[in-house]
């Protein structure tokens, strides 16, 4: 379910973001993907967003958040907020992109560049686009977590993250995890391998 947290389609409003997280939880979301980051601008969490993430965690909702694009190890928000799992961006060789935020507080990663479709705007042409940043890593991982729930709907957020970490491709700079291996993660939660 897409949840708009901006009044203009761009920009950011912390109050709307917090309401959007709570709304998604109250309307049945099992996984929330957060694609924005404060890029280390703040040393403490924004209280309304941190509270909404805690609310999601209390309701057994997995929150995956962009670790940021600082190329440094300092925690960013909301990825470092309690209840959220930070997601870094990896290159095609399963190494961190130089721009990806990393460190002991980040344990998950997914490809950091994705192809997609841009619908365009009033004065913009639609078509394919190529985007890079941990803002595309978090939703990629959220999609894989959704596949894991389709295999085993009883999984808790902790079980999903544990399976992803146990089956991940190790990445230097990340603690206790690595780049998601979708196939191995699905098999770990009860998926069946395709017939030979």
* 167 and 182 Cβ atoms separated by less than 8 Å: no
Closest-CA residue to 160 (of 26, 20, 30):
30
Lowest mean pLDDT, pick from 16-20, 84-88, 157-161: 16-20
* Mean pLDDT taken over the chain: 91
pLDDT at 8: 65
Tens digits of residue pLDDT in 3-53: 877 766 665 678 888 999 999 999 999 999 998 888 988 888 899 999 999
The per-residue DSSP string of 136-186 comes to HHHHHHHHHHHHHHHH-TT--HHHHHHHHHHHSBP-TTBSS-EE--HHHHH
pLDDT-based confidence at 100, cuts 50/70/90? very high
User: Mind listing the pLDDT tens digit for each residue in 119-151?
Assistant: 776 777 788 888 899 999 999 999 999 999 999
Q: What is the DSSP string of 52-76?
A: HHHHHHHTT-EEEEE--S-SS-S--
């Amino acid at each position: 379910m897409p949840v708009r947290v901006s009044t203009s389609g761009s920009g950011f409003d912390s109050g709307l973001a917090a309401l959007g997280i709570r709304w998604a939880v109250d309307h049945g979301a099992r996984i929330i993907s957060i694609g924005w980051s404060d890029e280390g601008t703040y040393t403490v969490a924004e209280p309304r967003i941190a509270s909404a993430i805690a609310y999601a965690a209390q309701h057994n909702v997995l929150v995956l958040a962009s670790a940021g694009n600082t190329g440094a190890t300092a925690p960013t928000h909301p990825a470092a907020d309690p209840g959220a799992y930070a997601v870094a961006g990896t290159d095609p060789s399963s190494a961190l992109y130089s721009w990806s935020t990393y460190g002991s507080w980040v344990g998950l990663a997914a490809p950091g560049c994705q192809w997609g479709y841009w619908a365009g705007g009033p004065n913009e042409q639609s078509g394919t686009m190529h985007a890079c940043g941990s803002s595309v890593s978090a939703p990629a991982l959220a999609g894989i977590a959704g596949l894991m729930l389709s295999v085993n709907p009883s999984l808790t957020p902790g079980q999903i993250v544990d399976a992803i970490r146990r089956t991940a491709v190790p990445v230097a700079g990340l603690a206790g995890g690595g780049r998601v291996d979708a196939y191995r993660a699905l098999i770990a939660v009860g998926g069946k391998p395709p017939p030979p």
